[in-house]
Structures are given as C-alpha cells and as structure tokens.
Amino acid sequence: MSQPHRVMAVVVTFNPDSTTVEALLEATRVQVEHVIVVDNGSCAETIAWLGRACEGRARLLALPDNFGIAAAQNRGVEAARALGATEVLLLDHDSVPEAGMVAHLCAAADESDAAVGAVGPLIVDRASGTVAPLPHIVDGAVRFVPAPADVPTRCEYLIASGTLIPLEAFDAVGPFDESFFVDQVDIEWCLRAGRMGHASICVPRARLVHAIGDEVVTFWFCGHRHLAVHGAGRDYFYFRNSVRLIRSADVPQPWRRFWTWRLVKLFALQTLFVPHRLERVKAMWRGMREGLRLRERGGPLAAASP
C-alpha cells in the first residue's frame, strides 16, 4: 500500500464482559486512529456502561436489535469509511490485541507481493494459551498446520477478530453476507476474496488473545478429549451456514468434504457428550434442514434468533 495508513477499529459487542472490553479498548486505542464500537442489541444496562467506557476512547454505535455479526461489521466498516479510514481492524468483544499487533499487520500488507484481501494475527486462546493453527489445502485435503515462526504466510481464511482489511479490498470483494447472521461469516468472505485473487495472510509476529468457544467440555472417548462449544443457538447457525457452504458451487471440493465430515463428527460428539443434548440435537437438525432449504446466497433469511 502506498498511501498512509488510517486504521480504524470496528469492535462488535453483544452483552460483553466489562473487564475484557476495558482491556480491549486500552490495548486498541493506542494502535489505531479511531475505535468504533458497534453494539448489537445489548440490554439497556450494558449500553449504559458501554457508553461510559467509550468516553474519550471510542465512538459507540448502538444498534436497536441484534442484526448479526455480519450486519454489525458492515455498519462499522461504513462508519469507519465516513471518518476517512483506509483500513479497518475487526475485533470481537472477547479479544485483546497484543502491543504492536496493528503495526505488524500494516507492515506485512505493505510488503506483500500478492493482492491483499486481509491480514491477521496468530490467535492465542485465552483459556489454554495455545496458538491456533492455520487452514491450508494440502494434497487435496483441508489441513490445519502450525504457523511458521516469523514469516507472513497465506492461508485459506482468517477469523474475523484481529483481521485488518484494506477498504479497497473490501470494496472489490463486497460486504459480509448478512444472511449468514453469525458463524462462517469470515470464512465465506475470505473464500470469496480468494476466488477474486485477494489473499488472506497470517502474520505470526502479530498476536491476538481471543476466547475460542463459550466453554470447553472435557470427556472420555479413547482418551481424554476437549471440545470448545457455544450455546445451542450457535449450533443452529453453524450447521445451517456450513450446509450452505457445502452446497455452494463456488466452494472448493476439499472444503465441502471437510465440513461434511465435521458436521457428522460434531453432531455425534455433542449428542453424546455435551450437556443439554436434546436442545442441541434440535438446533443442529433444524440448522441442517434450513441450510438445505436456503439458496446458496441471498436466499430467504431464517429468523434472526434460533
């Protein structure tokens, strides 16, 4: 990028933890020009303290209802554009960037030989301290492999939180698909960007502490195993949107095979080992049925809540 960077952060919140949001704002505001907090229909009490937390540190855009993370991100991007942003940094309310993260992302974008769709950090799980591997297609199959120690590397997708997107790339690829509501929004956008020649690049020197899942369930199945899970409502959206991607003619075959197997495995594990089994089975089954009913993109949107 030859133009000066005007990075603005877009933080999406929904009834967040106040301590984490405070840490997020403190860590982010010194790394970007502006912070825009887009609240997605939190309760009145949360809106009140968010307003106080944002004073002098961020602009609060409070949406009247929960329109989904894709819609909130799109509105945040447009608010950043109106302030003169050249790039947006997407953040979830449960993420905290480490010092220098944005500078490392900008430097990697400047030095990239590829057309950049998005650059993102390594994701460090807050609970375990483990670093998330990167998705690649190797020998015709999806594989998750450790990131190189210090070299920016292309990958299939980046999770939204911590991702830096040049507005030029956002305009070329298009906005986030709001009909997805939540789950697979970032993956769909990165795969779309890749089809259009815009790379997703992970920058190992940049790091983001992030909560992966709402909780971790431990169970015995040929050894001790751990599974990060969300609530049953998220199961509905994950299954619905994964089925939509499997059915999409634009999604590479390795990803179709990967999600098909993952849905089968998740359905079995959550039915057998995760609490609130009946509620989860109903949510997963309804998500699969709805995913089969919807058109690939732009189909009729299911109810905003599961």
Instruction: Please check whether residues 77 and 30 belong to one and the same domain.
Output: yes
Indicate whether 151 and 264 sit together in one domain.
no
Same domain, 48 and 125: yes
Q: Which CATH number does the domain housing residue 190 bear?
A: 3.90.550.10
> 218 or 234, which is more confident?
234
Q: Tokens 């732009």 map to which residue?
A: 298
Residue 227 predicted with pLDDT over 70: no
Please, are residues 25 and 53 in contact by the beta-carbon 8 Å criterion? yes
**Mean per-residue pLDDT for 239-248?**
95
Contacts of 281 (CB under 8 A, 6+ apart): 267, 270, 271
What would the mean pLDDT of 25-49 be, rounded to a whole number?
97
In a domain, 277, yes or no: yes
Average pLDDT over residues 218-244: 77
Q: How many domains does the chain have?
A: 2
Domain stops at, among 210, 233, 256: 210
Q: Are 29 and 58 in contact (CB under 8 A)?
A: yes
Q: What is the pLDDT of residue 222?
A: 60
- Pair 91, 171: CB distance under 8 Å: no
Residue 22: C-alpha distances to residues 17, 42, 52, 57, 97 (Å): 9, 16, 11, 10, 12
pLDDT in tens, 106-119: 999 999 999 999 99
Q: Are strands 116-125 and 59-63 parallel, antiparallel or unpaired?
A: unpaired
Is the same domain home to 239 and 185?
no
Same domain? For 146 and 59 the reply is yes
Separation of alpha carbons 257 and 306, rounded Å:
26
From CA 2, how far away is CA 238, in angstroms rounded? 39
Section 128-142 average pLDDT: 93
Nearest in space to 302 (alpha carbons), one of 65, 53, 68: 68
Q: Is the pLDDT of residue 228 over 80?
A: no
Domain-terminating residue out of 181, 210, 239: 210
Domain assignment of residue 247, given as a range: 215-293
* 180 compared with 2, residue with greater pLDDT: 180
HSE value, Cβ hemisphere, 13 Å, CA-based, for 48: 3
Task: Answer yes or no: is 2 within a domain.
Answer: no
Residue 152 CA: distances (Å) to CA of 18, 31, 115, 124, 297: 33, 20, 14, 17, 32
* 68 to 14, 88, 291: CA distances (angstroms): 10, 18, 17
What is the pLDDT at residue 250?
A: 83
Q: Tell me which of 183, 210, 237 is where a domain ends.
A: 210
- pLDDT score of 299: 39
Q: Are residues 264 and 163 in the same domain?
A: no
CB 283 within 8 A of CB 231: no
Average pLDDT of the segment spanning 245-271: 92
Same structural domain for residues 204 and 221? no
Mean pLDDT of the chain, nearest integer: 90
As a whole number of Å, the end-to-end CA separation of the chain is 42
pLDDT at 41: 94
Kindly state whether residue 302 falls inside one of the protein's structural domains. Answer: no
* Residue 233 banded pLDDT, cuts 50, 70, 90: confident
Is residue 93 in a domain?
yes
In a domain, 305, yes or no: no
Residue pair 88/7 in contact by the 8 Å Cβ criterion:
yes
User: How remote is the C-alpha of 56 from its chain's centroid?
Assistant: 27
152 within a domain of the structure (yes/no): yes
Where does the pLDDT of residue 74 fall: very low under 50, low under 70, confident under 90, or very high at 90 and above? very high
Distances from the Cα of 21 to the Cαs of 34, 63, 92, 197, in angstroms? 16, 18, 9, 35
pLDDT value at 212 more than 60: yes
* pLDDT number for residue 304: 36
Residue 300 has a pLDDT of 36
Mean pLDDT (whole number) for 133-142: 95
Alpha helices in 98-225 (DSSP H): 101-111, 167-173, 185-195
Name residue 245's beta-bridge partners: none
Percentage above 90 pLDDT, the chain: 78
